[in-house]
Every structure is written in structure tokens, then in C-alpha cells.
Chains A and B, each alone.
Chain A
Amino acid sequence: MTTTRNPGLEDTTDTLAIPRRSVGQTLLASGTVLALVVLIAFFFAMRPDIFLSFTNVRNILYQVAILAIIAGAQTIVMVVGDFDLSVAATAALAGSVSAALMLGGTPVAVAILAGLVVGLLIGLVNGVLVAYLNLSAFVATLATLTSVTGLAFLVTGGTTLFNMPAEFNNLGQGRLLQIPLPVFIAIAISLILWAVLRFTTLGRRWYATGGNVEVSRLSGVNVRRARLLAFTIAGLVSAFGGILLAARLGSASAVQGEDNLLFAVAAVFLGMTVARSGAANIPGTMVGVAIIGVMSNGLNILGVNSYVQQVVTGLIIIAAVTLSSLRTRVR
């Protein structure tokens, strides 16, 4: 009997049998976490009075909450070895649909549900295209991205929708214990995704599929269904992010939050360097999200030009992925 080891699970715990590593290997393996620690230490040293203050830490968490949700969606798809270019567009469409319905008099809960259904359906379409029609995930989700963006323009009429009910906006702007609600929601969604990946059969199947499709299939995993579910859940989670973004800004537009796609991918890649296997994983993705948030906030506080910020963000990602690559070679 063959025992299939779950690479994602191996990476999130130290309890499994993994060969002891040298100090150099450990440093390389934890390069991304180290980068986060160094960034925090650097910005704290530059602005000790501000950077780790409650207000600023809350500010960082608030700014990355929605990115964390969308990066979580991207993580699921990347666990199965695919890629979803439509997560940010799906988020924008879901937010727009919910907003448009609310402005048309639909109750808040129903409008939110409709937005989530839209996300789920887009994910389902992606899943069918990739898993059952064997289209490349890149091509399929690029096509979906294009059409979904067009749909979002149709839904919003090219304008920004606003004046949603206060109870909806409160989802994105309200606070509990002085912490913005989106932070709690992002933490809850991340924990759920982590638990699904870590403890459920579905999660194990996703990791197995991402590890080796053929071996998974021969081992009895319904690979197609696993990929379909991954895209579908990614669509649903993206919709959560988009609806929350609309509530956070009190408005919805067709291209709202489009930078979430690239930042989500960057966060997942950064997170993959945290795992020993190099597989996508939720804790790693959250480290990636934290790096992006800390860097953006820290550089803003230091008054660094936004163009330079973009260059630095790219360099940090290259550095982290290079560390990961060096680590793989060392192994």
C-alpha cells in the first residue's frame, strides 16, 4: 500500500519527520518570514513612535483585510496547481451586483447572497472550462476576466454606485473592540480555508492534485471534481472580498480593487516560499499579505514615492522567491 504524503500539511507543522537542517538552510527556508521580520524591524527603527502603535497596526490590518480574502481564494486554486486571473474581476462584479440590487430596493441580505452566487457561478464556469474542457487555466480565466469586467461595466453602467444602506456599509466600516470588522471577517475566512486545506479530505485531495495530477488520479482522486471545486470556492471567496470592498468604500465600480489580482498572486508566491515543499498554503499567503501591507504602510509613513514603492515591492518578491529557489537547490 502506498502512503501519499500531503505536501501542504507537511509544511505547516514541525511534527512530521523532516530531516534536520543546518542554520544556513533554516535561514533560507524562512527567508520570507525573515523578510517580514526585517521589514517590521526596519520601519520600527525608522519610526519607533508610530509604526507599531495600536492605531497604525490597526491601519495595516484594515488595509490588507480584503487582499487577504482574495489571496486566500487564489491560494486554493494554486494549491491544485492552477491559476485564476479572474479573482479581482469576480470580486468587482460581485460587489457591483450586490450594490446595484441594494440600490434597486433589494434587502441587504438578499443582495449579498446574490453577489455571492455570482462569484460562485463564475468560479463554476472557470472550473468547468479548466477541469472538464481541459482549457489552460491561464487562457480560461483570462477570458473570464475579460467577460466579467464587461459584465461589471454593464451592471454599474460605467459609473460608481453608492448610497447603499448603512447596515451594508457597516460591514466594511464598522468596528468591534476598536478593530474594523473586515479584519475579523478576513481572519475567519482565512481560518476556514486553512482548516479545509489542513484537516479535510477535500484539502488533501487538492494538495494531491497539485502535487501530481496523474498519481492523484491513479490513487482514486476525482481530479476533475477537485479542480472544479477549487475554482468554484475561489469564486465564492473572491465574491466575499468584493462585497466587503464595496461595503468598506461605500461604493462599487467595475474596476474597483483590480490591483488585488497582482498583489494576491504575489502574496501566494511569497507564501509558497515559506513552505518546505513550495506548495501554496494559507499561513504562507498571510505572511505574503503581511509583507505587502507592512511595506506599503511603512513606505508611505516614510514618505517614499509611490513609483519607488512599486519598484521595491517587485524587488522584495524577487528576493523572497530567489531565497526559496536557493533553498530548493540546497535541499
Chain B
Amino acid sequence: MRTKFRVVAALAAAAALTLTACSSGGGDTGGGDTGGGGDEPFRVIAFTSGNQTPIGAWWVKAVEAQADELGWDLTMIQGDFDFQKMNPAVESAIGQGADAIFNGYTDEGSIQSIVTAARDAEIPIFAMDAATEPTDAYVLNVTTDQQGIVDQTVGALDETLAGLDGKTVMVIGHEPHAGIRMRSALAMEAFEEAGADIAGGDIQQVLSPATGRTEALAFVADYMSANPGKLGAVWAGWDDAALGAAQAITEAGEAGKVTGVDAVAEAIAQIEAGGAMLATVEQPWPSILDMVIEAMVAYQESGDLPAENFEAVDTTLVTADNAADITPSDQLE
């Protein structure tokens, strides 16, 4: 009797946990039946590893809405940053047949097996923000202009600090993210060219994006503790790290300025409030999505692939002057 009770209780607990896990929304690998050609619906496999980020979650919803509107037969695969789970799911969907693949925010380096499977099946991959440079993996990848982002943020610091020559600037990056890696390196070059001293002599690398804020906070707090009054600015590759850096500067009562990238609501609010957070960068994801969808529709209708396989679009520098007009990237609808 006691054993039976235990078994029932264990099953109930497992069922409760399973339901809870299911309700978290990850890992939807359901796909539609495929046919292709003629009157069959246009079959699209869409996937992203970043569905747990606000922008990734927005992308999933936006693509599903577009697919509904266009009458596509969409298979949406959400990877939860787990490539061991996501890649086989996408490859399996490719094996069942599709007309096109849409990659959202997943770097080429992490999906080589998908690229190979798609190439073997002769299915074109359209992408947004999935590589920082042109690559044969995609028939089209639209992303943001990394050099433009660096020019805008470094320019903002240059203007606020009345020149960067001789100023000490900390650069905070995160190497596993291709976009952040590229713009951090470009920022480092720009600061060195402008005559700035790089705090710590190199890019300060955050180990995990999940702890980016606390890691950046510690980098900056420790640096200021050892070098009081010396830090002129912090350039961070994304807003969460920038917010940690800004908090460290505020707590230390220093005058350094910080820039980030992403234009999340919290960063915009801090920019509007004045203080350490000087600027961030808005990347126009909705218009980028429209560009990719337009190219996919053209392919659906005519079979024509885009003339260029890479496009880097301009971004908007967000400062106190225009912060009120910007839609935060974590509140896209």
C-alpha cells in the first residue's frame, strides 16, 4: 500500500513538473505535412536558438503571424540555446521536405550540420542576424551594420568626453556571440586609433550572458577600486552588461559614461533619466524581418533567389534626445 502510494505520488509529481516544463513554451518541434509545388502551400522550416531572449521570442511570434497571413505551412523549431536538440530537429524537418528555411538569430558556426543538410536537399536558407559577414550558407542574411554600431557608440563617447585621446575606456565583450565579438573588436580598434587607453589592456570577456550584468559590474567596480577616478568610459557590446557597468559607476560616484547595444527598455529608461548610461543602439528588427519575408515571398512566387546574399542595415543611436521615440527591443509586438 505504502509502495503504491509512493508510486502514485512520484508519478503525480513528475506529471506536475512535466506540465510546468511544457508550459514554459520551449522546444516546439511540431511540423506540418509537406508537399511542395503546384497548389500545395509553401513549406517553411523556421528555427531559432534564441527563443528564450525577448527578441527571439518576438521573432517566433512575428514569423508565425506572417506565415499565417501568407498561408505558409510553417514548422517552427525553438532551440532554447541547445544545439544538440535543435540541429537534429531541423535536420529531421529538412528530411521531410520543405521549400525554404528561415534562420533567426542563430550563428552560422553553430548550425553547420543544418547548412549541410539543407544544401544536400537543395533548400535555400534565408536568415536574419545569423552571421556578421557574407557566407555561402545563406541565400540571404540581413543583419545590422556592426561598423556602423561602433561608429555611433564610439562617436557618442568621443563627443561627450570631448575627445578620447588619453582617456581610459573599458571594452566589455562576449566572444561566443558573433555580433558582439565582431563589434567589440571593432570598438577596440576604434578606441586605440583615437588614442584611448584600454582598461586592462584588452577586451574584458563576460563568460555567460546570463550573468553579464553582475560580471560587468564586478569588472568595472574592481577596476575603479584599483584606479579611482581614472575610468572615462565603458563600451559594452550589449545592454545588460552596459547596465551592470553603469551601476558600478553610479555606486562608486564616478563620472564615467557607458554605452550599450540593443535598446532594451531598462537601458532606454536610464538614458532618459541621465547619469552613467549615455547611449545604446536600436537595431531595426521589424524592418529586417520584413526584408527577409519579402525575399522569401519573391522566391515563393518566382523561384528567384536574392541577388546578394548579405545585407547590413543601418542602426539608430539612442540618446537622451530621441529615447522617448524608440520602441524598446524587449517590448516589440
Contacts and interface: CB of A to CB of B under 8 A. Distances in A.
Given A134-B6, A162-B269, A150 B20 contact: yes
Nearest to B20: A147
A249 B247 contact: yes
A149 B223 CA distance: 32
A297 to B, nearest CB: 5
Nearest to B54: A159
Contact of A59 (B9, B10, B225, B244): B225
Interface in A28-60: 47, 50, 53, 55-56, 59
Given A158-B52, A162-B269, A305-B205, A300 B20 contact: no
Interface string B200-218: 1110111110110111011
A158 B208 contact: no
B189 to A, nearest CB: 19
Nearest to A298: B222
Highest count of chain A CB atoms <10 Å: which of B223, B225, B244, B331: B225
B331 to A, nearest CB: 8
Contact of B17 (A147, A160, A297): A147
B324 interface: no
B226 A301 contact: yes
Nearest to B211: A259
A257 B225 contact: no
B221 interface: yes
Contacts of B240: 160
A114 interface: no
A151 B226 CA distance: 40
Nearest to A148: B20
Contact of B207 (A62, A132, A301, A306): A306
A258 B226 contact: no
A154 B23 contact: yes
A306 B204 contact: yes
Interface in B212-243: 213-215, 217-219, 221-223, 225-226, 228, 240, 243
A79 B269 CA distance: 45
A56 B21 contact: no
Contact of A251 (B201, B219, B266): B266
Interface string A54-79: 01100100110000000000000000
Highest count of chain A CB atoms <10 Å: which of B13, B14, B57, B243: B13
A187 to B, nearest CB: 20
Given A55-B225, A134-B6, A303 B200 contact: yes
B302 interface: no
Majority SS at the chain B contact face: helix
A280 B264 CA distance: 42
A243 B244 CA distance: 17
A27 interface: no
Contacts of A255: 210-211
Interface in A243-263: 249-251, 254-259
A212 to B, nearest CB: 24
Interface string B6-19: 10011001100100
B251 A310 contact: no
A153 interface: yes
Contacts of B226: 47, 50, 56, 301
Given A133-B13, A135-B10, A150-B21, A160 B201 contact: no
B330 interface: yes
A133 B10 contact: yes
Nearest to B264: A160
A98 interface: no
Nearest to B220: A300
A307 B174 CA distance: 11
Given A160-B240, A162-B269, A50 B225 contact: yes
Given A163-B269, A251-B266, A306-B206, 20 more contacts: A63-B221, A133-B6, A146-B17, A149-B24, A150-B23, A150-B26, A154-B25, A158-B52, A160-B264, A160-B266, A249-B247, A250-B247, A251-B243, A257-B214, A259-B210, A297-B225, A300-B222, A305-B205, A307-B207, A310-B207
Interface of B: 6, 9-10, 13-14, 17, 20-21, 23-26, 52-54, 57, 200-202, 204-208, 210-211, 213-215, 217-219, 221-223, 225-226, 228, 240, 243-244, 247, 251, 264-266, 269, 330-331
23 contacts: A53-B225, A55-B228, A56-B222, A59-B225, A63-B221, A133-B10, A143-B14, A150-B23, A150-B24, A150-B26, A151-B24, A158-B54, A160-B330, A162-B266, A162-B269, A255-B210, A255-B211, A258-B208, A258-B210, A259-B210, A297-B222, A300-B223, A301-B223
Interface of A: 47, 50, 53, 55-56, 59, 62-63, 125, 128-129, 132-135, 143-144, 146-147, 149-151, 153-154, 157-160, 162-163, 173, 249-251, 254-259, 296-297, 300-301, 303, 305-307, 310
